[in-house]
Amino acid sequence: MDRLESMAIFARVVERGSFAAAAEDFRLTGTMVGHHVRALETRLGGRLLNRTTRRQSLTELGAQYYERCRLILAEVRDAEALGAELHGEARGRLRVLSPVSFGVHVLAPACIDYRAEHPNVEIDLVVSDRALDLVDEGFDIAIRIGDLPDSSLVARRLRPYRSVVCAAPSYLARHGAPSVPTDLSRHQCLGLAHPVASRQWRLHGPEGEVVVPVSLVFSANNGEALRMAALSGLGIVMQPEILLADDLRDGRLVLVLPDYEPAARPMHLLMASDRKPPAKIGTFADFVVKRFGGRATSSRRVAAK
């Protein structure tokens, strides 16, 4: 059996979660998919998958081998795209890393628009708020929020990443709206489970920066969970504008303290420092910078739509 084909089939079994799904993708029988996986296991001298009648899981060998297969198959796709690259055509698989809120609410829809212009590019978007290494983890492009450490990566500036402070009308009807930042100390607040951010909110207003001690009645490590808590009327939330923009526009959430905003954080697109990046990387970077570069929309303008 062709070893590369067997690796591709094994990787698809892992990604799709079953032999049957992989067989459908490759237009093979489930038996043939099993032959490919067993051929790899024979060559490696160990089991790649634990299978029962209800589920399958990777063995330790299987997990490590899958990661190697994924990288090797990506390299093969890139190698096969060289001819197109020489002619300036964007082609191949593009691995993109993004923070969760930006990736889910903003970048994923943009990827769909990009593929409409470059249908031969396959996009693998990974959303994570962990600081993953772009090069070591095999990413072509990463979106980073916050100050950048010195590195050899090329950074292209995007619009600042803004947050807003808001609450549901039902909460404000029960508890009233804060009129000055210090009022937040007596309100129910919702925020990220963080040793510092969970105790203090920093806002910028007419008199400069104001640091307000807050008490979180609900904390989470995920912005969507905090959004749902805010929509239920549980308390006042401070989260990225892109996460809450639709709710603000439609009146499900209302800005509080409109003269005060959390400090905007810098946002950049990062990529390796190739003098002439492959067309898939260059065109995607230009697309993202064109769409998300420039000045950010103010939260007051979003709320007024």
Q: Where are the domains of the chain?
A: 3-80, 88-160+265-304, 163-262
CA–CA distance from 175 to each of 167, 171, 172, 186, 189 (Å)? Answer: 11, 6, 5, 10, 12
Determine the pLDDT at residue 10.
Answer: 93
pLDDT, average across residues 87-100: 85
How far apart CA 202 and CA 260 sit, in angstroms, is 10
Long-range contacts from 52-61, C-beta under 8 angstroms, 24+ separation? 56/13, 56/17, 56/18, 58/14
Q: Average pLDDT of the chain?
A: 86
pLDDT-above-90 percentage for the chain: 59
Q: Which CATH superfamily is domain 88-160+265-304 in?
A: Periplasmic binding protein-like II (3.40.190.10)
How far apart CA 124 and CA 139 sit, in angstroms, is 9
Answer yes or no: are the C-beta atoms of 191 and 219 closer than 8 Å: yes
Say yes or no to pLDDT of 304 above 50. Answer: no
Secondary-structure class of domain 3-80 per CATH:
mainly alpha
Q: Which two tokens stand for residue 155?
A: 């950074």
Q: Is residue 146 left, alpha or beta, with left meaning phi > 0 and alpha meaning psi from -120 to 50?
A: left
Which residues 6+ apart lie within 8 Å of 25 measured at CB? 12, 16
Say yes or no to pLDDT of 167 above 60. Answer: yes
Determine the pLDDT at residue 83.
Answer: 61
CA 145 to chain centre: 11
pLDDT, average across residues 118-130: 90
pLDDT-derived band of residue 125, with 50, 70 and 90 as boundaries?
very high
CA–CA distance from 292 to each of 148, 219, 279, 284 (Å)? Answer: 18, 30, 20, 12
Are the folds of 3-80 and 88-160+265-304 the same?
Answer: no
pLDDT-derived band of residue 303, with 50, 70 and 90 as boundaries?
very low
Say yes or no to pLDDT of 40 above 70. Answer: yes
How far apart CA 12 and CA 31 sit, in angstroms, is 15
Say yes or no to pLDDT of 269 above 60. Answer: yes
Answer yes or no: are the C-beta atoms of 182 and 212 closer than 8 Å: yes
pLDDT-derived band of residue 226, with 50, 70 and 90 as boundaries?
very high
Choosing among 3.40.47.10, 3.30.930.10, 3.40.50.300, 3.40.190.290, the CATH entry for 163-262 is 3.40.190.290
Determine the pLDDT at residue 108.
Answer: 94
pLDDT, average across residues 84-112: 85
Q: Which of 27-31, 85-89, 114-118, 125-129 has the lowest mean pLDDT?
A: 85-89
Half-sphere exposure of 101 (CA within 13 A, CB side): 18
Q: What is the pTM of this model?
A: 0.64
User: Cβ–Cβ contacts within 10 Å for residue 1, how many?
Assistant: 13
Three-state secondary structure of the chain: CCHHHHHHHHHHHHHHCCHHHHHHHHCCCHHHHHHHHHHHHHHHCCCCEEECCCCEEECHHHHHHHHHHHHHHHHHHHHHCHHHHHCCCCCEEEEEEECHHHHHHHHHHHHHHHHHHCCCEEEEEEECCCCCCCCCCCCCEEEEECCCCCCCCEEEEEEEECEEEEECHHHHHHHCCCCCHHHHHHCCEEEECCCCCCCEEEEEECCEEEEEECCEEEEECCHHHHHHHHHCCCCEEEEEHHHHHHHHHCCCCEECCCCCEECCEEEEEEECCCCCCCHHHHHHHHHHHHHHCCCCCCHHHHHHC
